[in-house]
Structure 1
Amino acid sequence: MRSKLLFIGIFSFLFLVGCKDEVLPKPKAQLRLEYPKGETSQVQTGDYSFQYNSLAKVKDLRQSSFTLDYPSLKGAIYLTYKPVQNNLKDLLSDAQKLSYEHVIKADNIVEQKFINEDARVFGMFYEVKGNAASQAQFYVTDSTSHFLTGSLYFYAKPNYDSIYPAAAYLQNDVRKILETLRWR
């Protein structure tokens, strides 16, 4: 009888202790947004051409400078063209300075060289991480005649966690622009 009571006591103890729901913290996660792939379109100016995502609308085209507006993402890529006229050093300095003006709010700025020797397109792509106004900057040149800068901005107060999926999507579009850029 005593062993029976001991067995019932141990069983009851294990049952009470083993049936508690253990509280576990939820794992960190990010919002998963999927954007359409979009068709490829071509833009041609008197100075250069490239392929871009057809979700963008070309706006304010004037003298090879314009905006690729993404209304569904509430963002835009601003492109500015300048001819090289014995001022390459100044153009490079200005482009690099503009990219690093975001260092105050940025958590990190990742520099990525871009070189396409066949098309004579040389430059730098800056991925800006954190709550900076611009999430990407770039410049490219052929080092003799052409110089193009670009900046990615959103039409909202920067909150990196919220705009990260759209920023990553548009940074891929910027890379596509760089890869397909051809001087005329």
Structure 2
Amino acid sequence: MKRLALPLLSLLMLSCGNDPLPKPKGYLRLEYPNASYEKVIVPLPFSFEKNKLAKPISTVQTAGSTNGIDIKYPALKATIYLTYKEVKNGNLDSLLRDAQNLTQKHTIKADEISYKDFESKENKVYGMLYEIGGDAASQSQFYVTDSTKHFLSGSLYFYAKPNYDSIYPASEYLKKDIKHIMESVHWKE
């Protein structure tokens, strides 16, 4: 018995070491490539530049005419939907109100909605960018217009249940693309 007790006691003494330490929390690190842009010519009265990371755009037709563009980002599971409408018969106020109301519909789930004015006098492009924080369905929305003939609105949607913490990195990356779209819009005369 003594022969067995001494090795067991030694084993117990040696096996006791430092107290275990919890592992630090790990965070997902998402890195996206630097954006590289290319000009897009569409069958609408404007052109713009899109990120090369996006798939080739697809146009949306209603009533036989093209009035929308979908810019898909499969790697980010997101799409930027663009809708073009002609300004005519004094409908600019109505178009602006519709764009603003669409953004306001997200207040139910949004933690905050901030906006930034956009103006490019040399290209005759004026607009607004809305950034929506929280678990809203769309994280960014915008519109640009020349105030006389053209009106373009856009929305960013992800193909997943909105969880702000999870989609935040992709949302921030795509907000830069949206800003670039706004900056690169050129109206065709």
Matches within 5 A, 1:1-184: 31-45=28-42, 46-57=44-55, 58-62=57-61, 63-85=66-88, 86-184=90-188
Q: Where do 5+ consecutive residues of structure 2 fail to align?
A: 1-17
CA shift digits 1:106-161 (9 cap, x unpaired): 00011100011110100100001100000000011000000000000000000000
Contact 1:40 1:53 in 2 (8 A): yes
Runs of 4+ in 1 over 2 A off after TM superposition: 23-27, 29-32
What SS does the aligned partner of 2:102 have? helix
**Distance in 2 of aligned mates of 1:88 and 1:150:** 16
Counterpart code for 1:158:
P
Question: Compared with structure 1, are the counterparts of its residues 138 and 61 closer, same or farther at alpha carbon in structure 2 (3 Å cutoff)?
Answer: same
Structure 1 residue 31 displacement after superposition: 3.1
d(CA) in 2 for partners of 1:61 and 1:54? 20
Shift of 1:39: 2.8
State how many pairs are aligned. 164
CA displacement 1:79-101 (0-9 Å, x = unmatched): 00000012000000000000111
Identity %: 52
Could you tell me how far apart the structure 2 residues matched to 1:94 and 1:25 are? 51
1:163 aligned counterpart, secondary structure = helix
Q: Which runs of 5+ in 1 are unaligned?
A: 1-19
Aligned mates of 2:150, 2:139 — CA distance in 1: 24
Q: Normalising by the residue count of structure 2, what TM-score does the alignment of the two structures yield?
A: 0.80
User: Aligned Cα RMSD in Å?
Assistant: 2.0
